[in-house]
Each structure stands twice: as C-alpha cells, then as structure tokens.
Amino acid sequence: MTASPGGPRLDCRAVPVETKAVGKTWDPASFEVEADRIRLYADAVGEENKIYHDAEAAKAAGFRDLVAPPMFAVVYSAPAMGPAILDPEVGINFPAMVHGGQEFEWKEPVCAGDVITTKAECKEIYEKDGKGFYVFETVSTNQDGAEAVRAQWTNIVRGV
C-alpha cells in the first residue's frame, strides 16, 4: 500500500517472478464437513439433487451419509491454499493476480461427518508473455486416509 491524496492505494507495479518456493509445502489444514454446510453450498450453486440435501436419499444412492457436491472441494481446500498463495516466499503480487484455472481428480466421495485434511505444494512458477504463472497442487484425504480429491490450481499475475 502506498499513501496518496484521497487515501492509501494498492501498489500493482510489476514484481519479478521468483522460483525459490517451487517444491515448498505448507502445514496441512483440516476441515470438518457438516451436513448443513453441504446443504448451504448445494443451495448456493443451485444443486437440486436430493443426495445433496437429504441423508436418506444419499444413503439410498450408496453413499455413507449426505454427500457433498464435487466442487465443495473448493470449500475444504481453501484453508490449505490461503497460506500458500499469500506466502511472501512464493511472491505473488496479489493485487495483480487473476484466477487461471483449476483441475480436479475426484476419488472417494466426501460426506457429512468426514474430516478432510488438505496438503498444498507449490509445483511450478514460471513467466510467460509478461505474466507470472503459479501452479499449486492440493491433495485432500478423509479421516480414514482415503484420497478424496487431487487438484491443480493455477494463478496468473499480470505485469511481471
């Protein structure tokens, strides 16, 4: 932040890409999956399938309990990704960052009552066409050690 007439402003000047954080991992983050959170998420994204709202419907469909929609992965992965993208060693110029993409490989369904633990790792940092690309991988497992989802998150920083 810089001072200016009218109040502080974010400094969005170019910051060179630094690769020293490639391979770095952060402390795992755990998330307790609650049925109400699943229902709220399903409502928020317009998911009407009963397996996301009714535990009995989910069990009848073969799930252990009320099942989370696949993209609920963003909810339980966020506590692990936050420290990674905000780490000064990674060096993301946050005000100039845009979302570049996500890829998910879903495995064991996530259900109410699960405790999901997510680990994040910086897999790649590179510059291309005046932009910095920051690629992270997360691996989320349940309380039994079963992998629920493996994800790749790409953030792009303009003006490097």
Q: Is the model's pLDDT at 1 over the cut of 60? A: no
Q: What's at 78, amino acid-wise?
A: A
What number does CATH give the domain 29-33+72-158?
3.10.129.10
Three-class DSSP labels, the chain: CECCCCCCECCCCCCCCCCCCCCCECCCEEEECCHHHHHHHHHHCCCCCHHHCCHHHHHHCCCCCCECCHHHHHHHHHHHHHHHHHCCCCCCCHHHEEEEEEEEEECCCCECCCEEEEEEEEEEEEEECCEEEEEEEEEEECCCCCEEEEEEEEEEEECC
Q: At 141, list the tokens.
A: 């497992």
- 42 or 159, greater pLDDT: 42
**Average pLDDT value for the chain:** 93
Q: Determine the Cα–Cα distance for residues 79 and 71; give it in Å rounded to an integer.
A: 15
Least confident of 2-11, 40-49, 66-75, 125-134: 2-11
User: Could you read off the pLDDT of 137-151 as tens digits, one per residue?
Assistant: 999 999 999 999 999
Sheet containing 115-128: give its strands across: 29-32, 115-128, 131-141, 147-158, 97-106
Distance of CA 28 to the CA centre of its chain: 13
Q: How confident is the model at residue 160 (pLDDT cuts 50, 70, 90)?
A: confident
Q: pLDDT confidence of 7, banded at 50, 70, 90?
A: low
Quickly state the pLDDT bin for 15 (edges 50, 70, 90).
Answer: low
| Residue the block writes with tokens 């009218």 | 6
pLDDT more than 70, % of the chain: 91
pTM: 0.86
